[in-house]
Amino acid sequence: GQNIDQPTEMTATEGAIVQINCTYQTSGFNGLFWYQQHAGEAPTFLSYNVLDGLEEKGRFSSFLSRSKGYSYLLLKELQMKDSASYLCAVRGLKGDDKIIFGKGTRLHILP
Amino acid sequence: DVKVTQSSRYLVKRTGEKVFLECVQDMDHENMFWYRQDPGLGLRLIYFSYDVKMKEKGDIPEGYSVSREKKERFSLILESASTNQTSMYLCASSFSADTQYFGPGTRLTVL
């Protein structure tokens, strides 16, 4: 079967660092996405990992371990505007244009 | 910048009405997708299309149909709306197996 797990909610403090984990079990693997979604808005693309390792993009980094079926999104120097849901999504089969979304992690930032 | 637009941000319909949700993208993307998003259930794929006049069922196609007469436009049709179809509907597009870009969403309420 296809399964993507991530925590439902997390809370962190402004200026701190937070790590959002995602584990997946899918039929094949051909890339993992992270999206950010503010309340009432559409998801927006953050990162894409297809090879093992860390991809850094400003305050956000995403890590992938294919052998462990594991990824994390790291947010540094948290700002109030980072309060949002973060969606992990996986493309399973090579050539498959569909991606499977996790249910998202709602991140609350406290001042 | 990729632009995906949806015909309405908010829509209220009555049970049994036929409902059309339209999505237009301006980046000549081959693939277009319709999702619904519900609290606790995440994003679920209803239908997708990888070419004009082509369509594939997603995970929850029951009660829905789609139309893709032109490459830039993908319509979702609720033949006879029911209260359990009250949801946020999100359209997305992508070039081949690339990142999906989302429209702003339509919040549909069926009374």
Highest mean pLDDT among A4-18, A20-34, A91-105: A4-18
pLDDT in the model for residue B83: 97
Cross-chain residue pair A33–B99, CB shorter than 8 Å: yes
pLDDT class for A98, splitting at 50, 70, 90?
Answer: confident
> Does pLDDT of A88 surpass 80?
yes
Determine the residue of chain B that is closest to A34 in CA distance.
B99
Mean pLDDT of A46-53: 94
Which of A40, A48, A103 shows the shortest C-beta gap to B42? A103
The 10s digit of each residue's pLDDT in B59-93 is 999 999 999 999 999 999 999 999 999 999 999 99
The 10s digit of each residue's pLDDT in B5-22 is 999 999 999 999 999 999
Torsion of CA B13, B17, B21, B22, to 10 degrees: -120
pLDDT in the model for residue B71: 95
Does the beta carbon of A44 lie under 8 angstroms from any beta carbon of chain B?
Answer: yes
Which of A48, A96, A102 shows the shortest C-beta gap to B99? A48
pLDDT in the model for residue A94: 60
pLDDT class for B102, splitting at 50, 70, 90?
Answer: very high
Does the beta carbon of A33 lie under 8 angstroms from any beta carbon of chain B?
Answer: yes
Measured distance CA(A41)–CA(A44) in Å, rounded: 9
pLDDT in the model for residue A95: 62
pLDDT class for A97, splitting at 50, 70, 90?
Answer: confident
Question: Which residues does A58 contact at the CB level (< 8 Å), separation at least 6?
Answer: none
Cross-chain residue pair B97–A42, CB shorter than 8 Å: no
- Average pLDDT for chain B: 94
Mean pLDDT of A2-30: 93
Which residue in B19, B30, B35, B37 sits closest to B81, CA to CA? B19
Question: In A, which residues are within 8 Å of B99 by CB distance?
Answer: 33, 45, 48
* Joined tokens for residue A110: 């406290």
Cross-chain residue pair B48–A98, CB shorter than 8 Å: yes
User: Per-residue DSSP letters for A21-78?
Assistant: EEEEE-SS---EEEEEE-TTS--EEEEEE-SSEEEEETTEEEEEETTTTEEEEEE-S-
* Joined tokens for residue B69: 């007469």
Is the pLDDT higher at A92 or at A15? A15
Measured distance CA(A107)–CA(A85) in Å, rounded: 6
Substitution target in A45, A48, A98, A103 with the highest count of B β-carbons within 10 Å is: A98
Does the beta carbon of A90 lie under 8 angstroms from any beta carbon of chain B?
Answer: no
Of A33-42, B34-43, B75-84, B95-104, the one with minimum mean pLDDT is: B95-104
Is the pLDDT higher at B40 or at B64? B64
pLDDT class for A29, splitting at 50, 70, 90?
Answer: confident
Q: How far is A19 from chain B (nearest CA, A)?
A: 20
